[in-house]
Amino acid sequence: MAQSDVPVSAAAAGSLAEEFAVPSHVEEVKKVMSEFAEQHEAAGRRVVLITSGGTKVPLESRTVRFLDNFSSGRRGASSAEYFLDSGYAVIFLHRHRSLYPYTRLYTGINLLDSLKFEPGDEDTSRVLLNKKELPNIVTVLKRYQAVKAAGLLLPVEFNTLSEYLHLLKAAAQALSSIGSKAMFYLAAAVSDFYIPASEMPEHKIQSSNGPLQISMKMVPKMLRPLVKDWAPKAFVISFKLETDPSILLERARRALDTYNHQVVVANILDTRRGYVVVVTKNSQQELSLTDEEVQKEIEIEDKIVRNLLAAHTHFMSQ
């Protein structure tokens, strides 16, 4: 289905609402994204839409069970910080409770373990943070507050596959007005499969009925209508994650041929934190971290973003 032309485009562009329930707030969010993009474009900034985290696919309509994709949202959240450092305004379309820019650095830490109560009366008693428990907290807090005060980061949440698909479409339409100044950095781990609402059992599947057979349909590829119809002038990056290195580059090239976008960032599950290949129609460039860089806690996303920043500049000048 990924290779055939008509059904994919039709399903994604036309009948998305037939197969996937429309979230009630999608028009409102679209308006907010539109205003965000126009305001920052007027101020001379580029705007990147980052998708991040995995999607949930319900197996029952009153959902107890669901299919999920591996993704903490680490890559999306850290990339957002580097894009902000590079002067971009960022729309962060992320899975509810996936990692978030800046706070991601303290995710494993139990907040209550790093607080200290300093007694006093109602007004003078205070709760202090033990700075040693939270590395670089002062620097990170200042940067977070500066980004927030400047209104450079617009967070939008999704949970299910349906919400993701509709919000991505809305974002693409919202950003089309700023043309080539828009970048799409599609790092979310989106399910390839789903169960159509019409084939879904209403109630929790009973285990006493015996072993479970699940039959799932393929999710329409959004990349084609995004590139072709919704935001045709934008600079678009997709990600390809595989576990088998031998098929990675071929899959990346095939995606570029199929969807006609600008860049695929290809990576392997086991090495994704230290190695990627940035693939375009006529180039491929390996990015990796040296041992020294790993020790200095330099992140691969720093290099990815720097590479794409240059490519985006070149793209805009064409």
Residues found near a second copy in the complex (CB under 8 A): 1-3, 56, 59-60, 62-70, 100, 102-103, 106, 110-112, 115, 117, 125-129, 131, 137-138, 140-142, 144-145, 189, 191-193, 202-205, 207-208, 210-219, 241-244, 269-270
DSSP, collapsed to helix, strand or coil, labels residue 142 as helix
CB of 254 to a second copy, least distance (A): 9
Q: Which is nearer to a second copy, 202 or 291 (CB)?
A: 202
Residue number with CB closer to a second copy (192 or 229): 192
Cα separation, 174 vs 170, in Å, equals: 6
Name the residue nearer to a second copy (CB basis): 38 or 242: 242
> How far apart are the C-alpha atoms of 169 and 221, rounded to whole Å?
12
If the CB atoms of residues 7 and 31 are measured against a second copy, the closer one turns out to be: 7
CB of 282 to a second copy, least distance (A): 24
What is the DSSP track for 278-317?
EEETTEEEEEE--HHHHHTT--HHHHHHHHHHHHHHHHHH
The minimum distance between CB 113 and a second copy, in angstroms, equals 8
Nearest to 286 by CA among 248, 258, 312: 248
Give the Cα separation of 36 and 42 in Å (integer).
Answer: 10
State in angstroms the smallest separation of the CB of 137 from a second copy: 6
Minimum distance of a second copy from residue 85's CB (angstroms)? 17
Query: Are 300 and 275 within 8 A, CB to CB?
Result: yes
Q: How far is the CB of 7 from a second copy (least distance, A)?
A: 13
- Choose between 30 and 220: whose C-beta lies nearer to a second copy: 220
Give the C-alpha separation, 312 to 147, whole Å. 22
CA distance linking residue 316 with residue 233, whole number of Å: 9
Task: Please identify, using beta-carbon distances, which residue of 73 and 181 lies nearer to a second copy.
Answer: 73
Cα distance between residue 228 and residue 258, in whole Å: 11
Q: In what order do the strands lie in the sheet with 235-242?
A: 153-158, 89-95, 47-52, 182-186, 235-242, 263-268, 275-280, 283-288
